[in-house]
C-alpha cells in the first residue's frame, strides 16, 4: 500500500510512540461512550475529547519531538495545499476575533482553540504519514471500528423495549455515525491490497464500521455513507489500476450484501426499525425531527440576513437562536412552524454550513468554503492527470471526507463533536500525503521559513498555545459541570450555593448552571436573585418556555410586577404560538384586574387553537385536577394529558425540573 515512504526516523520519538500509540488515540476517540455524572441540563460545550486530545497533542509536540518540518515540507511541495493551510488558519483566526462581538465568550474561545488544534493535528498527522506511512492511521481506524461495533451490537442485543431505548440509542450512536462513515471507506479500501484482503481483523473492522453507522439510525449518515461508498467504488474503477478491478468487485459485492442484508433483517425480522424505514417515514410518521430541522434552517437563514458579514460569533448559534426566532416570527406571523420546539433548546443548526454562516457570516463561510473547494479542485485535477495510477487510499480518504461533508448538511454534530473532526482531518492528512506522493514532489529541499506562517517554530507555538488553551478551557468546563452535579444533589441553598458560585466562576456562560442555581434560589425564596439567574440562563442559551415562566414567577414573587409581565411578554415574543405562556399571561393579567387585556390575549390564543387555549387556561388558573374535571364536561377544553408541549405541564407543576434539551 505504501510504496514511497520516507526513510526518516519516526518523528514521535518519545516513550509514548510505539505499538500502543494507536490504542491511546483510539481510546481518546471513543471516550465519550463512558458515562460520567452530569448536570440535569447540559449546555456548556463538550470537554472530554477536547481535554484528552489537547493533552496528547501537547505531549507529542513538547516531549515526543514531532518533526513538524516533514509535514510542512509536504505543504510547500504543492502551492494548492499550501493555500489550504493558509485558509484554514484564516478561519481559526476569524473565530478568535469573533470573541469581541459574541454574547457568550466561553463558547467562542472553545471553538477557536478546537479549530487551532485541528490545524496543528493536520500537520502532525502529515508528519507521521511521511515518516512511517499509513500504518498508525489504519491501526487507529481498525481499533475504533471494532470497539464501537462490538459495543453497539451489545447495546442492540440487550434491548428489552426499543420504544423506551430508542432515544438513548440514537443519541449515543449518532454522534459516532459521521466518524464511522469518514473512516469506513479507508477500511474497505485496505481490502484491495494483497496481504490485507486476507486479514480477518480488517474485514471485521470494515464490516463493523458500516454496520454501526447503519445501526445509529441516522438518516443523514446512512445516505452520506452510501454516497461515499459509491464514490469509492466508482472512482477506484475508473481512476485506479486494472489490478484492483477483481478485488474491487469482491468488496463491492460484500458491501452491497452487507447493506441490503442489514436493512432487510431489521425491516422484516426485528422490532427495531431499519434506517430505510426512518428515511421512508414508516418508522417516524410524525416527521418531527425533519420538521424541526426545516424550522431551524429557516431561522438560521433569517439570522444570516440580519448579520451577513460577521455573524453572531463562533459557537454562539444556540444563545442567539431565540432572538433570531423572535425576529422570524414577527415577520412570518402565519408560519405554523413557529410553534415547534418551545420546550427544547436549539443549540445547533443541524447544518454545519448554515451554522458557520450564522456565526461567522459570509466571511467565515467563504474562508471555510475556500479551504475545501480548493481541496476538491486539487483532487479532481489529480484524478484527471493520473488516471489509471491513482491509489485507492487517496480515493477512499476523499470519499470519507465527502461522506462527512454530505452528512454535515443535516446533523448537529459534524465538526462540533471533536472526535468527528479529528478523524476528518486525519483523512485529510492521508489525502494530502497521497496527493503529494502522486506528483512525486515530496523530497524537495527544506525551505528556510522561520519568519513565515508555515515555519516549524510558528506551527509548534500555535500547537502548544492552542493545546494548552483548549486543555485549560476543557478543565474549566469539566469542573463547572462537576460542581453543578454536586450542587444539585444538595438539599439546601446553604449547602449548594458555594458549589453553584464556583461552577459559574469556572465557566460563566454555563446556561444550565444558571438555570439550576435559579431553581435553588427560588426554593429558598430568594426570588429576586433567582430571577437574575433565570435571565442569564435565557441569555446564554437555555431560553425554553419554562425559563421565561420561572423568571416571571420569581419576579412576581419578589414584588416586581412589571418585571414579571416583561418576562412573560419576552417569552411570547420568542414563542408567539405558545399556549402555555399565553395562558400564564392571561391569568397574570386577570389577577391584576386588567380584564380587557386578559381577554384580548385569550382571544388570540383561542383563535390559534380553541381546545388547547382553554385547557392551558384552566390548568394554569385552577391546577391539573380541576382542569381535568372541566375537560370532562366541556369538549372544547383539552384535558391535561392532551396539552402540548407535554414537558411544560410537568415543569410548570414542578418548578424543580429544568427545560428539556432537544435530542441530537
Q: Are 247 and 350 part of one and the same domain? A: yes
Q: Determine, yes or no, domain membership for 301.
A: no
Q: Are 535 and 440 part of one and the same domain? A: no
Q: Determine, yes or no, domain membership for 14.
A: no
Q: Are 134 and 269 part of one and the same domain? A: yes
Q: Determine, yes or no, domain membership for 59.
A: no
Specify whether the CB–CB gap between 424 and 29 falls below 8 A.
no
Look up residue 209 and give its three cell numbers: 464500521
Work out how many domains the chain is built from and give that number. 2
User: In the chain, which residues have pLDDT < 70?
Assistant: 1-19, 65, 70-71, 74-82, 284-287, 440-454, 654-664
Angle CA(543)–CA(549)–CA(553) in degrees, nearest 5? 135
The pLDDT assigned to 446 comes to: 36
Instruction: Give which of 184, 282, 223 is closest to 274, Cα–Cα.
Output: 282
Specify whether the CB–CB gap between 58 and 468 falls below 8 A.
yes
Q: Are 266 and 372 part of one and the same domain? A: yes
Structural domain boundaries, residue 545: 510-653
Distance CA 423, CA 150 (A): 20
- Residue ending a domain, among 393, 425, 447, is 447
- Residue ending a domain, among 413, 447, 481, is 447
Q: Determine, yes or no, domain membership for 264.
A: yes
The pLDDT assigned to 60 comes to: 87
Distance CA 649, CA 457 (A): 59
What letter does residue 639 receive in the DSSP assignment?
-
Cis peptide upstream of residue 645 (ω within 30 degrees of 0): yes
Count other C-beta atoms under 10 Å from residue 268's C-beta: 8
Within 8 A by CB and 6+ apart from 103, the residues are 312, 313, 316, 319, 320, 539, 540
Specify whether the CB–CB gap between 607 and 600 falls below 8 A.
no
Q: Determine, yes or no, domain membership for 100.
A: yes
Q: Are 157 and 261 part of one and the same domain? A: yes
- Residue ending a domain, among 423, 447, 471, is 447
**Exposure letters 541-558 (e unless 16+ CB within 10 A, then b):** bbbbbbbbbbbbbbbbbb
The pLDDT assigned to 657 comes to: 37
Q: Estimate to the nearest angstrom the gap between the alpha carbon of 175 and the chain centroid.
A: 7
The pLDDT assigned to 562 comes to: 98
The pLDDT assigned to 382 comes to: 86
Q: Are 139 and 282 part of one and the same domain? A: yes
Residues in the chain, total = 664
Q: Are 423 and 538 part of one and the same domain? A: no
The pLDDT assigned to 282 comes to: 80
Distance CA 506, CA 101 (A): 21
First to last CA, the chain: 38
Q: Are 514 and 438 part of one and the same domain? A: no
The pLDDT assigned to 658 comes to: 40
The pLDDT assigned to 629 comes to: 95
Amino acid at each position: 500500500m505504501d510504496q514511497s515512504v520516507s526513510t526518516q526516523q519516526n518523528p514521535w520519538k518519545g516513550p509514548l510512540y510505539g505499538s500502543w500509540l494507536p490504542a491511546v488515540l483510539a481510546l481518546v476517540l471513543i471516550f465519550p461512550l463512558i458515562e460520567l455524572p452530569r448536570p440535569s441540563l447540559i449546555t456548556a460545550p463538550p470537554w472530554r475529547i477536547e481535554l484528552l486530545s489537547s493533552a496528547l497533542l501537547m505531549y507529542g509536540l513538547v516531549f515526543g519531538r514531532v518533526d513538524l518540518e516533514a509535514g510542512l515540507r509536504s505543504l510547500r511541495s504543492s502551492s494548492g495545499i499550501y493555500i489550504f493551510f493558509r485558509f484554514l488558519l484564516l478561519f481559526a483566526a476569524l473565530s478568535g476575533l469573533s470573541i469581541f462581538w459574541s454574547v457568550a465568550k466561553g463558547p467562542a474561545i472553545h471553538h477557536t482553540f478546537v479549530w487551532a488544534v485541528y490545524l496543528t493535528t493536520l500537520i502532525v498527522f502529515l508528519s507521521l504519514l511521511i515518516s512511517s506511512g499509513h500504518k498508525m492511521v489504519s491501526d487507529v481506524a481498525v481499533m475504533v471500528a471494532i470497539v464501537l461495533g462490538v459495543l453497539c451490537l451489545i447495546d442492540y442485543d440487550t434491548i428489552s423495549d426499543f420504544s423506551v431505548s430508542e432515544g438513548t440509542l440514537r443519541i449515543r450512536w449518532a454522534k459516532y455515525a459521521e466518524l464511522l462513515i469518514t473512516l469506513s471507506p479507508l477500511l474497505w479500501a485496505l481490502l484491495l491490497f494483497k496481504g490485507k484482503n486476507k486479514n480477518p481483523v480488517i474485514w471485521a473492522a470494515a464490516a463493523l464500521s458500516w454496520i454501526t453507522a447503519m445501526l445509529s439510525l441516522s438518516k443523514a449518515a446512512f445516505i452520506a455513507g452510501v454516497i461515499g461508498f459509491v464514490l469509492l467504488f466508482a472512482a477506484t474503477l475508473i481512476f485506479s489500476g486494472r489490478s484492483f478491478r477483481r478485488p474491487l468487485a469482491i468488496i463491492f459485492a460484500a458491501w452491497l450484501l452487507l447493506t441490503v442484508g442489514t436493512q432487510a433483517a431489521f425491516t422484516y425480522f426485528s422490532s427495531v426499525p431499519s434506517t430505510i424505514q426512518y428515511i421512508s417515514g414508516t418508522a417516524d410518521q410524525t416527521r418531527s425531527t425533519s420538521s424541526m430541522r426545516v424550522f431551524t434552517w429557516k431561522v438560521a437563514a433569517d439570522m444570516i440576513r440580519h448579520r451577513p458579514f460577521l455573524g453572531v460569533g463562533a459557537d454562539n448559534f444556540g444563545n442567539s437562536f431565540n432572538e433570531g426566532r423572535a425576529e422570524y416570527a414577527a415577520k412570518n406571523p402565519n408560519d405554523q412552524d413557529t410553534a415547534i420546539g418551545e420546550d427544547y433548546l436549539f443549540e445547533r443548526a443541524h447544518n454545519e454550513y448554515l451554522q458557520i454562516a450564522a456565526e461567522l457570516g459570509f466571511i467565515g463561510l467563504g474562508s471555510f468554503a475556500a479551504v475545501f473547494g480548493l481541496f476538491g479542485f486539487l483532487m479532481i485535477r489529480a484524478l484527471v492527470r493520473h488516471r489509471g495510477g491513482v491509489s485507492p487510499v487517496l480515493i477512499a480518504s476523499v470519499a470519507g471526507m465527502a461522506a462527512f461533508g454530505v452528512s454535515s448538511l443535516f446533523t448537529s454534530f459534524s465538526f462540533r463533536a471533536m472526535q468527528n473532526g479529528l478523524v476528518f482531518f486525519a483523512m485529510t492528512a492521508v489525502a494530502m500525503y497521497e496527493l503529494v506522493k502522486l506528483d512525486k514532489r515530496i523530497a524537495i529541499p527544506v525551505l528556510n521559513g522561520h519568519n513565515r506562517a508555515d515555519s516549524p517554530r510558528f506551527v509548534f507555538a500555535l500547537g502548544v498555545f492552542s493545546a494548552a488553551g483548549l486543555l485549560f478551557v476543557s478543565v474549566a468546563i469539566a469542573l463547572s459541570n462537576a460542581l453543578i452535579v454536586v450542587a444539585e444533589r444538595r438539599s439546601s441553598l446553604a449547602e449548594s450555593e458555594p458549589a453553584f458560585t464556583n461552577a459559574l466562576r469556572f465557566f460563566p456562560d454555563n446556561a444550565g448552571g444558571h438555570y439550576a442555581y435559579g431553581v435553588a434560589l427560588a426554593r429558598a425564596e430568594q426570588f429576586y436573585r433567582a430571577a437574575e439567574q433565570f435571565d442569564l440562563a435565557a441569555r446564554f442559551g437555555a431560553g425554553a418556555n419554562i425559563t421565561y415562566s420561572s423568571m416571571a414567577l420569581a419576579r412576581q414573587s419578589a414584588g416586581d410586577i412589571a418585571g414579571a409581565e416583561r418576562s412573560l411578554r419576552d417569552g411570547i415574543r420568542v414563542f408567539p404560538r405558545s399556549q402555555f405562556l399565553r395562558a400564564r399571561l392571561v391569568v397574570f393579567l386577570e389577577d391584576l384586574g386588567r380584564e380587557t387585556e386578559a381577554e384580548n390575549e385569550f382571544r388570540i390564543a383561542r383563535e390559534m387553537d380553541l381546545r388547547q387555549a382553554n385547557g392551558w387556561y384552566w390548568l394554569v388558573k385552577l391546577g391539573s385536577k380541576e382542569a381535568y374535571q372541566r375537560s370532562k364536561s366541556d369538549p372544547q377544553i383539552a384535558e391535561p394529558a392532551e396539552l402540548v408541549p407535554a414537558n411544560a405541564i410537568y415543569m410548570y407543576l414542578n418548578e424543580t425540573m429544568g427545560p428539556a434539551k432537544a435530542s441530537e
